[in-house]
Amino acid sequence: MILKRDSIESRLKELDRILQELRKYADITPETLRADLSQQWIIERGLIAAATIVFDVGDHILAGYFGDYGPTYEDVLWGLYDHGVASAALYPRLQGLGGLQNILVHRYLDINSTEVWQHYQKGLEVFPSLRARSSRGWTTRQRSGVIQTKANDRLPVT
pLDDT at res. 109? 65
| Alpha carbons 57 and 83: distance in angstroms, whole number | 14
Domains defined along the chain, listed by start:
5-156 (1.20.120.580)
pLDDT at res. 49? 97
Q: Residues 6 or more apart from 51 whose CB is under 8 A from it?
A: 73, 97, 100, 101, 104
Torsion (CA) 33, 38, 39, 43 in degrees, nearest 10: 100
pLDDT at res. 82? 93
pLDDT at res. 156? 40
| Alpha carbons 77 and 75: distance in angstroms, whole number | 5
pLDDT at res. 134? 63
pLDDT at res. 1? 60
User: pLDDT tens for residues 7-18?
Assistant: 888 999 999 999
pLDDT at res. 17? 96
pLDDT at res. 87? 87
Task: Convert 27-53 to b/e letters by CB count within 10 Å (16 or more is b).
Answer: ebebeebeeeeeebebbbebbebbbbb
User: pLDDT tens for residues 116-132?
Assistant: 999 999 999 999 888 77
Q: What pTM was estimated for this model as a whole?
A: 0.82
pLDDT at res. 123? 93
Which residues of the chain, if any, have pLDDT below 50? 139-158
